[in-house]
Structure 1
Amino acid sequence: MYSLVSAPVLGFDLTRIEGGAGVSDVLTRALALTPDDLEVLAEHRADDGQRADLWAAIEIATTVQPTVRDVAGLSKADPDASVEKRASAALGLLQRAPLGTVDGLIQCVRYDVLDWTWSVTDGSEPDRAPQFPPVQRAGEPAPRPVKVQSEAASAATAVICDALVAGYLRAQLDDDTRRRLATPWVAASRRLPERETALGPTESSVRALLDRVGSLSQQDGSRLYKAAEAGRRDSASWAPAIHSASWAVHLAGRIREAAAAQFLLVQAVETSGIPITERAAGVWNLLSGAMQALAARDLVDAATAHRLLGPVLASLGPSALGS
């Protein structure tokens, strides 16, 4: 479910879970990595024995992380609970349970964020296991060339994934496990150069919205909550609009820039102090949709721009969109 193309979905999960802002920070920095950074990261990878213990703990943690599927089991867990109590428990679960999974996050990092670290093997014995083994069946086209990562790229990927999972499962892992997972990334990132996040040709508008969201007043928040409530009553028009904006981002080759904007938005929302209940109730969709429209502001049609940007414009004023 997680991918850079669907970064608004990943952002929706990150903005609702404990540790999500930290995950978004790692993702943002990972998007800006260069080949020269891989060796630095690789030097800090924990050894296989340590990682085996840590990932055994992660496996256990994933079994207790709430999911939307748990709603069905609430009545069985407390059959004597009143309808109102079960409804309240279900709402609380839906507000915080992620739509995606740890596996989905790792796949997104390995094959989307770090897609450039994979290269086609020349047929000689690779130094790493292939991404996908070549399989060809009768009547099917030839398989794609096998892609592999270098040892440095594979080790760097491990460091990044460990840090991401430490944040994604923050509420389910103990302090020591989280620290051991995150320490290699923290140590390596201190040696990496600070880079400006690339946000594409509409960067000024994107940064204007990020700055505005990160400094919301109480009155701003109230207007956003009301706009989100109104948006829920017109949710049928939101889905095709966000799809149109995302398609424009894809066609324009701005997937990485638009994803970075979504991850920075997670951090801005966290800074703003918007309650998680409001984020889940529509504020994230409202802000995320506006950010996606801004990423392709020069490409989306007028109807899409109006649907996605209008609520933010009405709530926060034209300065929020860099106007």
Structure 2
Amino acid sequence: MPYSLVSAATLGFDLVRLPAGGQVADVLVTGLGADAHTLHRLAGAHPAAGRPDAERAGLAVRARRAHELAASGVPQLRDMTDPGGDEDSRSARLVALLERGTIGNTPALERLVRDDVLGPEHGVVADLDPAVASLAADVLADAATGWWAADALDPAVRQELTSPYSTATAWEHGPRPDLGPMGPGLAELLGELRSLDEAGRRRWRLAVDASRAQRRPWAAAMHGAAWAAHVSGRTRTLAAAQLLSVSAFLDAGFTARDGAEGVWNALAGCVQGLAMADLLDEESLTVLGGPWTMVTGRSLPLAG
């Protein structure tokens, strides 16, 4: 399945279930918010920068092989078979599969970096030297791939993919993406999420259980919010909010199992609704923000 910024919540579902998914989200957020200075810094960290052509070719071959290893190292849900058995045991095994398998893969992730994150809608790339943009894209794509398949790659291969990005961002990540008119409310929501204790995490899990009958209205509301972001030119803004939520989800102490069992979808709906609240109807906002209301007893923090 291809990834796109429009479906950032789906990408987030994969990231919260990967051991180093938070680092992947960080790479993508850096790319979304990057200014010219940041992109030049990323390009300067490329292992081929300033090397002779022969060395550049050799490094390109090594990088391609590393990407091929990463692509085959993480199982995809579409390749998994039905575990069979009675309903209860089958459900348990399906959740276990969901903890390990992803919807997309590393080629889809790399295309997202190159075509969407640093694509035509990026505010800086169009005016940048194409060679610089290409090198910066390589660094971001390599790092995202290396962290995606962190457990599947030999540590030396993983480090080769991720170290240029780590070097470039060691002291300064660069600007964070703009979260639009609902930025203060999103900061409040994610900050409160990060402060959860075990009782708070349990409330989220209970809210997910109580919301399972709302799947169809939830999906329709998510689609409506994504469409609102598209027509208003805020797709990148919404994607940034979802990717920042990945780190907040992990900082809150939620696990891959929580992601597989619906806590991520509940959070993603709240974020989707809040980020686009100024353009949504009341019914959609109520559906998307339902888990937050059940957990906190309050409506989404629209006023920030």
Question: What TM-score do you get using the length of structure 2 for normalisation?
Answer: 0.87
Alignment of 1:53-202 (within 5 A): 53-72=62-81, 88-115=92-119, 116=122, 150-190=130-170, 192=172, 194-202=174-182
Q: Secondary structure at the match of 1:6?
A: helix
Q: Secondary structure at the match of 1:304?
A: helix
Q: Which amino acid aligns with 1:69?
A: R
Counterparts of 1:171 and 1:88, CA distance in 2: 24
Classify 1:184/1:293 alpha carbon distance in 2 versus 1 (closer, same or farther; 3 Å).
same
Provide the aligned C-alpha RMSD in A: 2.5
Counterparts of 2:111 and 2:295, CA distance in 1: 37
Q: Which residue of 1 aligns with 2:41?
A: 40
Counterparts of 1:14 and 1:278, CA distance in 2: 12
2:214 to 234, 240, 262: 234
Q: Which amino acid aligns with 1:98?
A: T
CA shift for structure 1 position 96? 2.5
Classify 1:266/1:92 alpha carbon distance in 2 versus 1 (closer, same or farther; 3 Å).
same
CA shift for structure 1 position 237? 1.4
Of 96-105 and 299-308, more deviation after overlay is shown by 96-105
- Stretches of structure 1 that go unaligned for 5 or more consecutive residues are 76-80, 121-147
Write the deviation string for residues 120-147 of structure 1: whole angstroms up to 9, x where unpaired: 9xxxxxxxxxxxxxxxxxxxxxxxxxxx
Contact 2:95 2:260 in 1 (8 A): no
Counterparts of 1:211 and 1:235, CA distance in 2: 27
Q: Which residue of 2 aligns with 1:16?
A: 17
Counterparts of 1:308 and 1:302, CA distance in 2: 10
1:281 matched to 2:290? The reply is: no
Write the deviation string for residues 8-48 of structure 1: whole angstroms up to 9, x where unpaired: 01111101111100010111111111223332221211233
Contact 1:229 1:281 in 2 (8 A): no
Write the deviation string for residues 193-251 of structure 1: whole angstroms up to 9, x where unpaired: 64243110011111111101111122211111011112222212111011111111222
Counterparts of 2:112 and 2:32, CA distance in 1: 12
Q: Which residue of 2 aligns with 1:3?
A: 4
CA shift for structure 1 position 89? 4.2
Counterparts of 1:322 and 1:218, CA distance in 2: 26
Counterparts of 2:94 and 2:59, CA distance in 1: 38
Of 39-48 and 241-250, more deviation after overlay is shown by 39-48
1:266 to 239, 246, 251: 246
Contact 2:273 2:280 in 1 (8 A): yes
Q: Secondary structure at the match of 2:195?
A: coil
Q: Which residue of 1 aligns with 2:233?
A: 253
Write the deviation string for residues 68-117 of structure 1: whole angstroms up to 9, x where unpaired: 12322868xxxxx9998776544311233110111111111111111136
Q: Percent identity?
A: 34
Contact 1:209 1:322 in 2 (8 A): no
CA shift for structure 1 position 171? 1.5
CA shift for structure 1 position 170? 0.8
Q: Which residue of 2 aligns with 1:123?
A: none
Q: How many residues align?
A: 291
Counterparts of 1:151 and 1:295, CA distance in 2: 34
Q: Which residue of 1 aligns with 2:53?
A: none
Q: Which has the larger radius of gyration?
A: 1
2:287 to 303, 307, 314: 307
Q: Secondary structure at the match of 2:278?
A: coil
Contact 1:238 1:307 in 2 (8 A): yes
- Stretches of structure 2 that go unaligned for 5 or more consecutive residues are 49-55
Q: Which amino acid aligns with 1:181?
A: L
The structure richer in helix per residue is 2
Q: Which amino acid aligns with 2:10?
A: V
